[in-house]
Amino acid sequence: MQLFDNPQAGRAGSKRRFEHRLKLHEVKDTSKLFSAVSYNIHQCVGMDRRRSPARIAQVLNQLDADVIGLQEVHSENNGTGESHQMQYLAEATGRIAIAGPMIARANGEYGNVLLSRHPVINARRLDLSVPGREARGAIDVDIDTGNGVLRVIVSHLGLRVRERIYQTKRLLAGIAKEATTPVIVLLDFNEWFPWGFPILRFNEEFGKAPSLRTFPSPAPIFSLDRIWVKPQRALISVRRCITPLTRVASDHLPLHACIDIARKE
């Protein structure tokens, strides 16, 4: 099964969208390749309005990434099986789970989750909440890959422009406090416009990230999700996972990145 869209096919603009994609023969040591996924799972509710963590787990297992950043994860208090989405997805994928809940509901917690194949040696949580708006935050971890330590941030920005401006400033300030490289940012930034402040500021700090349409999943129009990597030259490719399953499992398509963690400068 072909999981990813073909960068050489489609519209004339598709080649530009993959301008950061390098050829694998340019990588000196393929053992240092690291994969990352960013995926807003919409509480495991698909486009058919059916809640199915098993479907999301199937997508994640097909992608088989080293680290996975999830947004909109709901886990019921004292829930078992599929009702505790974080625990279920961690067990179904064989990954370590780091929780980043930002909203405490009557029946559980809701927010970001990071899943990692490798040991997490440090975990930090950054509060990005704006008074009067839905609580937001970021998970910030250091991962021991066996080939060095890298830093991964998972977040989901707010719906209003002023929220996203504040959250972008806070997030970049938090990233600047730690010197660990490479840095991977897995982000649903809710920015509908390519000239929006979050995109411009992250591109300024990390280099321009490929902009791929991920929402809505059946027929994507908007590029709401991004993967940034510092240093930029460590980013080998960013691709969308487009299959019949990903078109229905959530309202977003997952993004998959291949990173050469040996490229630290």
Mean pLDDT within 107-125: 92
Give whole-number Cα distances, 154 to 3, 103, 135, 171, 244, in Å. 23, 16, 15, 10, 26
Residue 246 backbone phi and psi in degrees, to 5: -70, -20
What is the domain count for the chain?
A: 1
Q: Is the pLDDT of residue 262 over 80?
A: yes
Return the pLDDT at 12. Answer: 36
In eight-state DSSP terms, residue 4 is: B
Asked whether residue 142 is domain-assigned, the answer is yes
The CA–CA distances, whole Å, from 149 to 62, 110, 120 equal 25, 28, 9
Residue 21 maps to a domain: no
Tokens 């994640």 belong to which residue? 60
Q: Does 19 score more than 50 pLDDT?
A: no
What CATH number corresponds to the domain at position 226?
3.60.10.10
Please check whether residue 74 lies inside any domain of the structure.
Answer: yes
Confidence of residue 215 (pLDDT cuts 50, 70, 90): very high
Q: Which domain holds residue 253?
A: 29-260
Q: What is the pLDDT of residues 68-107, one digit of tens each?
A: 999 999 988 776 778 889 999 999 999 999 998 777 666 7
- What pTM does this model have? 0.89
